[in-house]
Structure 1
Amino acid sequence: MMSVTMDECSSSAVRASDVPIEDVGPGIKRQMLGYGPGIMICRVWFEKDAIGDVHSHFHSQSSYVESGRFMVHVDGKDFELGAGDCFYVAPHQDHGAVCLEAGVLLDTFSPAREDFLDAGDPS
């Protein structure tokens, strides 16, 4: 993947079949879909027992559970969530997830995660 500046945006219409899926950790894959400087949406697949480590960032994040079951940790609280549920993470809040049943999260970030766009840059 080329380095992308935040002045660039994804296409107005994004076909998931045209977007690469990348391994981002044991049992976790990510696909970056629509984005512009102020917003980004990603699809993230988790195998059972995969762990999204607790971390924080300056972005706001809202995540929708498309499928599966997750134990989600946000700001010192734990929630078991399943298909159709969602969670919100304010900037700088610690958060993470453990996948209890294989599934998919749709993560939305504001502003866009420039670090995700540059992750595959070989330079």
Structure 2
Amino acid sequence: MQKQSALFSFGNETDIEDLGGGLKRQMLGYNHELMAVKVWFAEGAEGYVHKHRHTQVTYVEQGEFHFRIGDETKVLKAGDSCLIPPHVEHGAVCPTGGILIDTFSPAREDFIESDDNAN
């Protein structure tokens, strides 16, 4: 794993990875302690239910998301956010299309390895 991203990242110069299923991801910045990622959802796209060891905070930049954390589902819209504790199942469906900003602590090693393999 790289120790950290560049100190400055420019949106028009930073790769956007097509994840399939109407999802795209752009790394905004990271080191071993923290990571920020921008995720685009096409209309109707779904972030599958999963869990991981990382604490996650997600901010809704655009659109409407039906967000499930554990056994609870809420509708989040632009300006809303949520906290996902480690090892808690979560996922989201985006009926409108939208954009999320995800932050993780510590950084998601699997995202960095995926990004490295794309280059």
TM-score where L is the length of structure 2: 0.94
- Provide the rounded CA distance (Å) in 2 between the counterparts of 1:71 and 1:15: 30
| Partner in structure 1 of residue 20 of structure 2 | 25
| Partner in structure 2 of residue 105 of structure 1 | 100
Task: Choose the corresponding residue for 2:31, options 20, 36, 45.
Answer: 36
RMSD of aligned Cα (Å):
1.1
Matched residue of 1:118: which SS?
helix
Per-residue Cα deviation, 1:18-66 (whole angstroms, up to 9, x for no partner)? 1100111210000011100000000000011101000000000000000
Identity of aligned residues (%): 44
Asked whether 1:65 is paired with 2:72, we answer no
| Partner in structure 1 of residue 79 of structure 2 | 84
- Provide the rounded CA distance (Å) in 1 between the counterparts of 2:22 and 2:58: 18
Asked whether 1:50 is paired with 2:52, we answer no
Deviation at 1:100, TM superposition (A): 1.6
Matched residue of 1:18: which SS?
coil
Kindly report structure 1 stretches of 4+ aligned residues shifted beyond 4 Å: none
Identify unmatched segments of 5+ residues in structure 2: none
Asked whether 1:115 is paired with 2:115, we answer no
